[in-house]
Amino acid sequence: MNLLPDYLKCTDAFVKTSVKSQLVQFSVLANMQITSPLITQSKLPEVKTTIFQTMSTIANEAKAINLGQGFPDFACDDGLIASVTQAMHEGHNQYPPMSGTQQLRAAIAGKVRTLYDATYDINNEITVTAGATQALLTVILATVNTGDEVIVIEPAYDSYIPSIQLAGGVPVLVSMQFENGRFSIDWEKLRSKISKKTKLIIINSPHNPTGVCLQPSDLTNLAEIVRDTNIMILSDEVYEHMVFDGAKHMSIASDPELAQRSFIVSSFGKTYHVTGWKVGYVLAPAQLMSEFRKVHQFNVFTVNTPMQIGIAQFMQANDHHLQLPQFYQEKRDYFRSGLKNTGFKLLDVDGSYFQCVDYSALSNQTELEFATWLTREIGVAAIPISAFYKDRTENRLIRFCFAKQQSTLDAALDRLARIAQ
């Protein structure tokens, strides 16, 4: 008896019936009217495309020189590339430990001990992250619960507030004073914003976008505010190695009283001119770090291995970070000298690689309008400082990034000279 033809007939009938059923379902679905959106409530209803992406898009369309987004247009050290390449060839291409490779955590601990006389245990108090933005979000998710208040000092980096909102927290905004062309923190105003619900204070030094740096008196004021409270501190120190004029970076790590309640975030991308690698780290006391790692392990779990091995190797043989203050101060001074040929008023730059300028003598446009005009008509992209405020506060200021080759700065300065007063 040959059962094959009957089997095929049965199968063929099943297939035809199944396909017919699916076609009917597809037809019904195609004719359905969707009466409500799939996402009924956005977690970030106010968030749109970032100002950095917006201005970069306009810059690309206008073929403008992009001094808006904060990234270098020059190569990193060849030795760093060689170290990472060697790590790949040596087979360091699988998952590293969740907290980061031991080599890199040891190198970080050594650097922090040398610079700030602070000791962090490599096993329990240092975690390598997928850049600083991931570190900031993870700290906030690990510490902030629904209804908790977080102090944000404005102007502020644009990831802070959305991260707080994702955690269910409430951003409490404290605007910096802007007097005589300089920003500073109003500590009495900040103190007045503290409540029983305050869980976290976010600080940033060297500051993006203003370029100011915390002074010893600022750390004293901060310590007095949080003393005898359970308030934690998130210190964004990604520009820690860009402090100028012989000044010393006032890291929270250097103050034992503050360090015991603080998460400190830094960035290898900023330090080694490799922003696209997205590698950073967090320092925190063991109890705080334990909570951070609970979120980190389900956020990214860990960070690419060869970059970690390569950076650790490079740090052992190179004092690159010690040379950064002079390297960027020369660029700052060169750019500021060139801007004297324009109608801009220059704000002081204590640190970072950003130069803020006051254009009020040139235009009455809003900051976004002026930055857009500058990009399209003059061919140089900048970032409006109002974008760093939740309520878009206007001070007639824009921000340039001077982490560029001299040829790029020269070309930009030539164009900016067209708008001399």
How many Å apart are CA 393 and CA 91, to the nearest integer? 51
Going by C-beta distance under 8 Å and a sequence separation of 6 or more, which residues neighbour residue 92? Answer: 305, 306, 309
CATH architecture of the domain with range 94-317: 3-Layer(aba) Sandwich (3.40)
pLDDT digits (tens, 9 = 90+) for 27-70: 444 454 545 578 888 999 888 888 899 999 999 999 999 999 88
pLDDT range class, residue 392, cuts 50, 70, 90: confident
Mean pLDDT along residues 192-220: 97
How many Å apart are CA 7 and CA 258, to the nearest integer? 77
pLDDT range class, residue 383, cuts 50, 70, 90: very high
How many Å apart are CA 133 and CA 23, to the nearest integer? 47
pLDDT digits (tens, 9 = 90+) for 224-266: 999 999 999 999 999 999 999 999 999 999 999 999 999 999 9
Domain ranges of the chain: 51-75+320-419, 94-317
Question: What percent of the chain has a predicted confidence (pLDDT) above 70?
Answer: 91
pLDDT at res. 91: 97
Six token digits for residue 267: 């960035």
Q: Is the peptide bond before 306 cis (omega within 30 degrees of 0)?
A: no
Which region among 5-9, 112-116, 125-129 has the lowest average model confidence (pLDDT)? 5-9
What does pLDDT average to over the chain? 91
Q: Is the dihedral of CA 225, 174, 118, 300 positive or negative?
A: positive
pLDDT range class, residue 419, cuts 50, 70, 90: confident
Six token digits for residue 312: 């650790």
In this model, does residue 2 exceed pLDDT 50?
A: no
Which region among 23-27, 272-276, 335-339 has the lowest average model confidence (pLDDT)? 23-27
What angle, rounded to 10 degrees, do the helices at 131-143 and 286-299 form?
A: 110
pLDDT at res. 318: 75
Mean pLDDT along residues 307-334: 95
pLDDT at res. 370: 97
pLDDT at res. 376: 97
**Which residue type is seen at 76?**
C
pLDDT at res. 399: 98
Q: Is the peptide bond before 206 cis (omega within 30 degrees of 0)?
A: yes
Which region among 137-141, 265-269, 388-392 has the lowest average model confidence (pLDDT)? 388-392
Strands in 383-384's sheet, in edge-to-edge order, are 345-346, 354-358, 397-401, 383-384
pLDDT digits (tens, 9 = 90+) for 138-159: 999 999 999 999 999 999 999 9
Mean pLDDT along residues 5-17: 40
Six token digits for residue 279: 């590698």
CATH homologous superfamily, domain 51-75+320-419: Aspartate Aminotransferase, domain 1 (3.90.1150.10)
Q: List phi, psi (to 5°) of 282.
A: -125, 140
